[in-house]
Structure 1
Amino acid sequence: MTPQQVTLVQDSFAKVRPIADTAADLFYGRLFEIAPGVRAMFPEDMREQKKKLMAMLGLAVTNLHKPDTVVPALQTLGRQHVAFGTQAAHYAPVGEALLWTLEQGLGPDFTPEVREAWTETYGLVARVMQDAAADMRA
């Protein structure tokens, strides 16, 4: 990621923070719409899960420029997701739901450059998590 992409992601996420509850609702609503099979992997009461989502996004976004901080946290998350039954194929709809949520939440501020920066960010996050999960399974 370029320094400009890091700034775009961080600045755009700062606009999402005030609507974190709505963003989490949008995200999970969209995820369960496009990948209904994953719903069973989550608790009935999603309040804590939504908080965890926004906290992890916040950690990742805040520390994008600090790989020594963000990579171990993402590796731990990737290993934890193995126990939940997460498979490599689940990462694509999560990314799609994330981008859709950001588009809804940011409106016209979700420019093509912001989309590209978030796409790159999610790709990095997903790769780190998937690599850690694969190492754990091996």
Structure 2
Amino acid sequence: MLIEESLDQLDSVSDGVDTMFAHRLLDAYPEVYRLFAMDLEPQARKLLPTLRLVLDEIPRFGALLPSVRDLAYSRKICRMIDAHYQPISETLLWTLRRSLGCRFTNEVERAWREMLLMQ
């Protein structure tokens, strides 16, 4: 519920959130950013719709994981390795913290961290 509420709060600034995330990822982790710049279509780089999709699928995540992995390989994003999840997670949290300000409470951050660890 905390994650959904924080996503709802970001709707009005979604383009800014996408830009902030991309710039931070490029600045802090250029090797990871290049994977996204090369492998994903511009629409697939939209942060909030992607997060909503993931959030909607969490209840079925365990059953979907093999299919998601197959899809990732078929979409040529197989260069994504476990070492990339941490930089992406940290960049996402950094972006949320700056975008939500005081609404990014310790409880909200804890909820996001728990979700991000579900990989």
TM range (shorter): 0.7 to 0.9
Number of residue pairs the alignment of both structures matches: 115
| Partner of residue 90, structure 2 | 96
- Percent identical residues: 30
Give the secondary-structure state (helix, strand or coil) at the position aligned to 2:80: coil
Q: Which runs of 5+ in 1 are unaligned?
A: 1-6, 128-138
Aligned AA (2:15): D
- TM-score between the two structures when normalised by the length of structure 2: 0.80
Give the secondary-structure state (helix, strand or coil) at the position aligned to 2:37: coil
Match of 2:37 among 43, 67, 70: 43
- TM-score between the two structures when normalised by the length of structure 1: 0.70
Deviation string 1:78-133 (CA, Å, 9 cap, x unpaired) is: 44444321010000000000101100110000011111011111111xx2xxxxxx
Match of 1:58 among 32, 42, 52: 52
Residue 29 of structure 1 and its aligned partner are, at CA, apart by 1.2
CA distance in 2, matches of 1:111, 1:101: 14
Residue 43 of structure 1 and its aligned partner are, at CA, apart by 3.1
Residue 63 of structure 1 and its aligned partner are, at CA, apart by 4.8
Give the secondary-structure state (helix, strand or coil) at the position aligned to 2:51: helix
1:41–1:103 Cα change, 3 Å: same
Q: Which runs of 5+ in 2 are unaligned?
A: none
CA RMSD of aligned residues (A): 2.4
1:19 aligns with 2:13: yes
1:112–1:21 Cα change, 3 Å: same
Contact 1:25 1:50 in 2 (8 A): no
Greater CA deviation, 37-46 or 104-113? 37-46
Contact 2:44 2:50 in 1 (8 A): no
1:72–1:30 Cα change, 3 Å: farther
